[in-house]
């Protein structure tokens, strides 16, 4: 097969390189800058050359396979070769040149055509699709100079998105006053920033960002910098041209477009692939535009204008049946799982599709998981996200409340007893909690848990928000027990007397019921927790729970911790249960049994505290270590036997971060008129990660 040189400056070039790599076809990708290299994937089949080349350097590359970028003088050899003067070859090249550069890179395209023709190389131009628009709501200009002259007499700030290479000519043809109100969006590369500075642009007028940009980002920039005029190029669908126009329309910004060069001949990706391989483009090569839309509460009247336009434009709209009932679109399909939607996308291949979600896609939404699965399915698909009005913001507005100082939770689809308990914990420590529920029965369950914990709170329940049968009711906890509204429910819970959360573990020994069960004392408990290095969301096992003091102290640090305490003695297990109930915490699970047996069925923890092992320390560590690396251990040892067992474990596993300390605690006890010292057993605290 001929040597293939792919000159890339577009999404199409990257896609074609990926296709050739998948086919295990060797090729050389030529990009102008290091930034362009970062956008490509170098692999055994794709060599990447960086740097701009003139026509002579291109000839040298096509003839000799040498990079002409680094040695401009030797490019003269290429010219000699074409004339048959160097004797190294006959001046003809056996290579294929693929031009997938930007539509506006006319100089590069001209050089490529002439260089390929001069050395007899085959040449293919890969064209970028234009962004089809029903109406041209913009003015076109022949070049940047004509455009600069046109905007010179206009008032207001100007946003230039034509790239850093056009900036110099623009600045030369506008006055200093116009320059002062010009902002430029360029790629975040050293070269682009340098060119902006050389053109005399103020640094605070340089917006260095990597696209493509959705309508929201374009609109945000226009509003942020008070833009009245946009200067851009028609970069087509892949270049986000449509999104620029939509944002400009929303912001009442005039659009000035540098017209595409004269229509040129070329082929699409499919034709280029067929020419190179002799095969049809693989059926899985499909680059759709997919918009994830937050529908708000569900009533179409609450949709943003941008979301409505996306729905009207889409070829297919997916979502839950409830959300699609009143949606106006070409075709809607009641599917909301990625596993159902992706096969339909592959089969139907819509150019534009919309997937709708309830509420706001940024608030406990399935949009994040959907976005990840879509990217795994098709990394080149263009994903756009549009937010909706959440039930929280709607209910807050109806109640005359703010929500920037509130806790936001969702029990929708996860309303087990533990989840209800975590909600109650949050209510106890905060004045305002907003919660999304699975149904009306959850209202009664929440109220029951709040009453059980003696929390003085009131509930505002919102059902079917935004619909004609909307219901918003103020309820006491007693009234909430029998709440039976049908539909989608959201709650605002106000706590009149929240308990401030402690920032450090400070439970005293008196906070626990002891009976005759040994307990890890406060100072030992606190030092051990510090050495565990617990983080929000960690899975934590307390082995040899005793009174449950360590597990309860840990669980109280953050409701996101998942705490399991294991105790083999029935008497101690009963005492732990009493202390858990006394604490009112819902993120603790008690398991009665031998630790090495119980642990077999549990998932890998992040941290483990061992306060008692019954002489089975080595077996317990072995079971846990088999679950995976990176588990943090803290072991308390009082007896010489436990100290020796721990030492052997450290010698066996050789952890890199082992640490040991011994703490001796002496209490002061009043005896008559005297205060006597009462020493406790010294405790060793070992910590390490396996």
pLDDT digits (tens, 9 = 90+) for 622-671: 999 999 999 999 999 988 989 999 999 999 999 989 999 998 878 788 88
Walk me through the domains of the chain, giving residue ranges and CATH numbers. 3-125 (3.40.50.720), 139-258 (3.40.50.620), 286-389 (3.40.1010.10), 392-495 (3.30.950.10), 509-689 (3.40.50.150)
* Rounded Cα distance, 181 and 208, in Å: 17
Judge contact between 594 and 566, C-beta under 8 A.
Answer: no
- pTM of the entire predicted model: 0.48
Closest Cα partner for 269 from 256, 282, 250, 260? 282
* Rounded Cα distance, 394 and 400, in Å: 10
Residue 79: what pLDDT? Answer: 45
Pairing of strands 182-186, 607-610: unpaired
Q: Is the pLDDT of residue 484 over 80?
A: yes
Under DSSP, is residue 204 helix (H, G, I), strand (E, B) or coil?
A: helix
Element (H, E) at 257: strand 254-258
* Rounded Cα distance, 542 and 545, in Å: 6
**DSSP bridge partners of 678:** 667
How far CA 289 is from CA of 241, 350, 387, 540, 624, in Å, comes to: 13, 8, 17, 43, 46
Judge contact between 82 and 116, C-beta under 8 A.
Answer: no
When comparing pLDDT for 349 and 196, which is higher?
A: 196
Residue with tokens 């060069």: 261
Judge contact between 477 and 457, C-beta under 8 A.
Answer: yes
- Lowest average pLDDT, out of 212-216, 468-472, 652-656, goes to 212-216
For 423-440, the DSSP string reads HHHHHHH-SEEEEE-SSH
- Lowest average pLDDT, out of 26-35, 270-279, 359-368, 515-524, goes to 515-524
For 517-572, the DSSP string reads S----HHHHHHHHHHHT--TT-EEEEES-TTSHHHHHHHTT-TT-EEEEEE--HHH
Under DSSP, is residue 228 helix (H, G, I), strand (E, B) or coil?
A: strand
DSSP class of residue 185? E
DSSP E strand stretches across 558-663: 562-567, 588-592, 607-610, 632-637, 659-663
Q: Is the pLDDT of residue 33 over 60?
A: yes
Judge contact between 48 and 40, C-beta under 8 A.
Answer: yes
Percent above pLDDT 70 for the chain: 88
Element (H, E) at 650: helix 640-653
Residue 608: what pLDDT? Answer: 94
* Rounded Cα distance, 113 and 58, in Å: 10
Residue with tokens 């060599």: 47
* Rounded Cα distance, 360 and 223, in Å: 22
Burial-class residue 402 by CB neighbours within 10 Å (0-12, 13-18, 19+).
exposed
Which tens digit of pLDDT belongs to each residue from 43-100? 888 888 888 899 999 998 988 875 544 443 444 444 444 444 443 444 566 889 999 8
Length of the chain counted residue by residue: 690
Which tens digit of pLDDT belongs to each residue from 287-303? 678 999 998 887 778 88
Burial-class residue 114 by CB neighbours within 10 Å (0-12, 13-18, 19+).
middle
Find how far residue 495's CA is from the centre of its chain. 33
Helix axes 55-64, 106-119, angle to 10 degrees: 40
* Rounded Cα distance, 157 and 224, in Å: 11
Q: Which is it for the CA torsion 396, 397, 401, 405, positive or negative?
A: positive
Element (H, E) at 64: helix 55-64
Phi-psi region of 289 (alpha: psi -120 to 50; beta: other; left: phi over 0): beta
Q: Is the pLDDT of residue 520 over 70?
A: no
* Rounded Cα distance, 670 and 267, in Å: 95
Judge if the upstream peptide bond of residue 212 is cis by omega within 30 degrees of 0: yes
* Rounded Cα distance, 646 and 683, in Å: 13
Closest Cα partner for 627 from 530, 541, 528? 541
Residue with tokens 């959850």: 442
- Lowest average pLDDT, out of 91-95, 153-157, 358-362, goes to 91-95
Residue 237: what pLDDT? Answer: 59
């Amino acid at each position: 097969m001929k040597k293939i040189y792919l000159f890339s400056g577009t999404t199409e070039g990257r896609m074609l390189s990926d296709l050739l790599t998948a086919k295990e076809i060797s090729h050389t990708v030529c990009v102008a800058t290091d930034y362009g290299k970062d956008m490509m994937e170098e692999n055994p089949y794709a060599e990447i050359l960086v740097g701009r080349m003139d026509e002579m350097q291109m000839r040298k590359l096509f003839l000799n396979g040498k990079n002409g970028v680094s040695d401009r003088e030797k490019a003269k050899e290429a010219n000699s070769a074409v004339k048959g003067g160097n004797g190294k070859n006959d001046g003809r090249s056996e290579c294929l040149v693929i031009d997938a550069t930007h539509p506006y890179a006319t100089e590069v395209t001209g050089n490529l055509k002439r260089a390929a023709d001069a050395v007899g190389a085959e040449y293919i131009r890969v064209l970028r699709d234009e962004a089809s628009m029903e109406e041209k709501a913009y003015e076109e200009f022949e070049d940047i100079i004509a455009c600069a002259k046109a905007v010179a007499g206009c008032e207001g700030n100007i946003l230039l998105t034509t790239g850093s290479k056009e900036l110099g000519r623009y600045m030369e043809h506008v006055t200093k006053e116009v320059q002062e109100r010009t902002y430029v969006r360029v790629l975040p590369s050293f070269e682009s920033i340098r060119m902006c500075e050389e053109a005399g642009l103020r640094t605070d007028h340089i917006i260095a960002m990597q696209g493509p940009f959705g309508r929201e980002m374009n609109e945000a920039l226009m509003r942020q910098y008070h833009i009245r005029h946009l200067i851009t190029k028609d970069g087509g669908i892949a270049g986000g041209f449509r999104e620029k126009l939509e944002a400009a329309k929303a912001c009442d910004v005039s659009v000035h477009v540098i017209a595409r060069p004269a229509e040129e001949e070329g082929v699409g990706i499919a034709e280029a692939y067929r020419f190179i391989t002799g095969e049809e483009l693989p059926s899985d090569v499909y680059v759709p535009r997919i918009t994830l839309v937050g529908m708000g509460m569900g009533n179409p009247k609450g949709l943003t204008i941008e979301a409505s336009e996306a729905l009207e434009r889409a070829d297919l709209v997916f979502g839950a049946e409830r959300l699609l009932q009143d949606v106006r679109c070409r075709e809607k399909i009641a599917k909301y799982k990625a596993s159902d939607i992706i096969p339909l996308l592959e089969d139907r291949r819509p150019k534009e599709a919309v997937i709708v979600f309830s509420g706001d896609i940024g608030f406990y939404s399935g949009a994040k998981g959907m976005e990840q699965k879509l990217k795994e399915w098709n990394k080149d698909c263009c994903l756009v996200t549009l937010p909706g009005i959440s039930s929280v913001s709607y209910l807050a507005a109806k109640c005359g409340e703010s929500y920037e100082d509130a806790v936001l939770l969702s029990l929708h689809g996860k309303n087990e007893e533990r989840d209800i308990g975590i909600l109650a914990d949050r209510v106890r420590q905060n004045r305002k909690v907003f919660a999304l529920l699975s149904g009306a029965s959850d209202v009664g369950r929440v109220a029951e848990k709040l009453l059980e914990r003696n929390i003085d709170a009131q509930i505002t329940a919102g059902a079917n928000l935004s619909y004609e049968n909307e219901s918003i009711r103020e309820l006491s906890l007693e009234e909430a027990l029998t709440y039976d509204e049908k539909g989608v429910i959201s709650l605002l819970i106000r706590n009149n007397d929240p308990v401030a959360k402690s920032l450090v573990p400070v439970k005293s020994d008196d906070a626990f019921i002891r009976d005759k069960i040994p307990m890890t004392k406060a100072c030992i408990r606190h030092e051990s927790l510090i050495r565990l290095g617990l983080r929000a969301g960690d899975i934590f096992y307390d082995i040899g729970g005793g009174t449950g003091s360590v597990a309860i102290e840990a669980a109280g640090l953050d409701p996101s911790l998942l705490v399991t305490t294991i105790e083999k003695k029935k008497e101690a297990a009963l005492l732990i249960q009493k202390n858990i109930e006394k604490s009112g915490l819902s993120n603790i699970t008690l398991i009665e049994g031998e630790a090495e047996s119980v642990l077999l069925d549990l998932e890998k923890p992040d941290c483990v505290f061992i306060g008692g092992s019954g002489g089975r320390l080595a077996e317990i560590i072995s079971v846990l270590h088999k679950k995976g690396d990176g588990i943090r251990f803290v072991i308390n040892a009082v007896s010489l036997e436990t100290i020796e067992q721990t030492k052997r474990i450290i010698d066996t596993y050789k952890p890199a971060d082992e640490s040991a300390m011994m703490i001796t605690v002496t209490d002061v006890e009043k005896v008559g008129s005297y205060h006597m010292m009462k020493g406790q057993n010294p405790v060793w605290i070992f910590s390490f990660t396996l």
